[in-house]
Amino acid sequence: MHRRSRSARRTTSAAALAAGATLLSLGLGACGDEAATDEPVAVQTASNGDVFNTADVRFATDMVPHHAEAIEMVTLTQGRSLDPEVQELADAIREAQAPEVETMVDWLTAWDQDIPETDLDHANAGHGEGGGHGGDTDALATASDAEFQDLWLEMMIEHHTGAIEMAEAEKSDGEHAGAIDLAGSIIEAQQAEIDRMTDLLEA
């Protein structure tokens, strides 16, 4: 199943991809703008002894909603007819990123920082309603079954690319050892997934 020619697949998903990529870039830009409005001093020590800096806070604050959006994209695969390799990849993304969100929320809590709102219960507990990034997945939610799989792969590649850029900034500028280690793991895992998704699109 889903073995249409590459040109046909590109044609059916082009319009929806353009809309989805535009929404995705707008959402990520807004996320970054919000994180930069009220930064802490360069280096602080939390009550639990954690030493962290502005870059660590920005990394966690931006990556929590970014991961949450990836999990939303995975949730949209439910009920869709996907190739087994794609479904396996979607499941792996959810299994990896949900615990990472919890870890970053725990850091922000310990550092006495605001928790960004998302559609994930853990991140939203006691912090209001709504996620603020739901519009980024509209193109996927409304895609036909014929175009969904390729569009999902293309948008997830774009999404992973953004995560890698944020993780590289953390590795360069961060202070908190755990956040730096997580950033390295994100770079390694998501680059491997980008390579795999690219291969699936070209198959």
The answer to whether residue 30 is domain-embedded is yes
The answer to whether residue 160 is domain-embedded is yes
- If we measure between CA atoms, which residue out of 70, 79, 83 comes closest to residue 157? 70
Backbone angles phi, psi at 45, to 5 degrees: -120, 125
The pTM of the full predicted model, rounded to 2 decimals, is 0.74
Count of domains for the chain: 1
Domain CATH code at residue 54:
1.20.1260.10
pLDDT tens digits for range 31-89 = 444 444 455 458 999 999 999 999 999 999 999 999 999 999 999 999 999 999 999 99
Mean pLDDT (whole number) for 188-197: 98
pLDDT tens digits for range 81-120 = 999 999 999 999 999 999 999 999 999 999 999 999 987 6
The domain containing residue 185 runs over which residues?
A: 6-202
DSSP letters along 116-156, please? PP-SSHHHHTTS-S--S-GGGGHHHHT--HHHHHHHHHHHH
The answer to whether residue 1 is domain-embedded is no
